[in-house]
């Protein structure tokens, strides 16, 4: 059943990704991109990484996709594509894909059967984040706080104007 689910999810995700690359309207492409994120989250669920899958939906569909959609809405006057395929982008995408494929095929771990690990509970992730990875976590927190304050300064009104 798992392999059948894998095939279905893979086809849907790839189709959504392909559609987001080729659709004429930029907004449609962005919405398809959100669907791709959902597909990737489904893969995490399939692998038993519930927490990562939920965070994927939470962050990428709930925040990043909304951000992309708003960016398109607020910056473009015409959301229609010109119709010409973007060859430069295609070449870069193929190069990145090739590089990743080469790296993955070279990995020896690909041919070793995965060892049985205990179920990945949210509690364990929390424990590890708070002990082994506490410094990276704090650094990310600091970075995000700085970004938040920066955003606030950018949109702050000038008092003397109003």
Partner 1 sequence: MSDSLDQIFIRIKQLLLAPLAGAPDWVMQIASALINIFALLGVFLTLFALISVLERKILARIQNRYGPNRVGPFGLFQPVADGIKMLIKEDIVPARADKVVHFLAPILIAATAILALGVIPYGRNMTPFAIDGGILFFFAVGSTTELAVFMAGWGSNNKFSMLGAMRAIAQMISYELPLIITTFPVVMVVGALSPDAIVVAQNGYSFGVVPHWFVTTPWGAAAFILFFVSGLVESNRTPFDVPEGESEIVAGHMTEYSGFKYATFFMAEYIGMFAISGLAVTLFLGGWHAPIRGLEFIPSYVWFFVKLSILLFIYIWIRGTLPRTRIDQIMNFAWKFMLPMAFTCLVAAAVWHYAGRGVAGWLWSLAVLGIVYIALSILLDTRKKFGTRTYRFAE
Binding site for partner 1 (CB under 8 A): 1, 25, 27-28, 31, 34, 50-51, 54-55, 57-58, 61-63, 65-66, 69-70, 73, 121-123
Element at 92 (helix H, strand E): helix 87-106
Burial class of residue 72, CB neighbours in 10 A (0-12, 13-18, 19+): middle
d(CA 39, CA 34): 9
Residue number with CB closer to partner 1 (88 or 162): 162
Task: Please report how close the Cβ of residue 78 comes to partner 1 at its closest, in angstroms.
Answer: 14
Residue number with CB closer to partner 1 (102 or 161): 161
CB atoms within 10 A of CB 140: 11
Task: Please report how close the Cβ of residue 75 comes to partner 1 at its closest, in angstroms.
Answer: 14
Residue 84 DSSP class: -
Contact 43, 9 (CB under 8 A): yes
Task: Please report how close the Cβ of residue 70 comes to partner 1 at its closest, in angstroms.
Answer: 8
Residue number with CB closer to partner 1 (58 or 133): 58
Residue number with CB closer to partner 1 (18 or 70): 70
């Amino acid at each position: 059943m798992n392999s059948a689910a894998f095939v279905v999810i893979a086809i849907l995700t790839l189709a959504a990704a392909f559609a987001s690359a080729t659709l004429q309207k930029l907004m449609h492409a962005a919405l398809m991109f959100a669907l791709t994120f959902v597909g990737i989250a489904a893969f995490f669920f399939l692998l038993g990484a519930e927490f990562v899958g939920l965070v994927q939906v939470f962050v990428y569909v709930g925040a990043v996709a909304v951000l992309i959609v708003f960016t398109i809405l607020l910056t473009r006057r015409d959301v229609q594509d010109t119709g010409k395929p973007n060859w430069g982008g295609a070449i870069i995408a193929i190069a990145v894909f090739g590089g990743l494929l080469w790296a993955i095929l070279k990995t020896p771990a690909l041919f070793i059967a995965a060892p049985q690990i205990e179920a990945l509970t949210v509690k364990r992730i929390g424990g590890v984040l708070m002990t082994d990875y506490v410094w990276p976590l704090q650094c990310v927190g600091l970075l995000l706080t700085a970004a938040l304050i920066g955003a606030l300064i950018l949109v702050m009104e000038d008092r003397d104007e109003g």
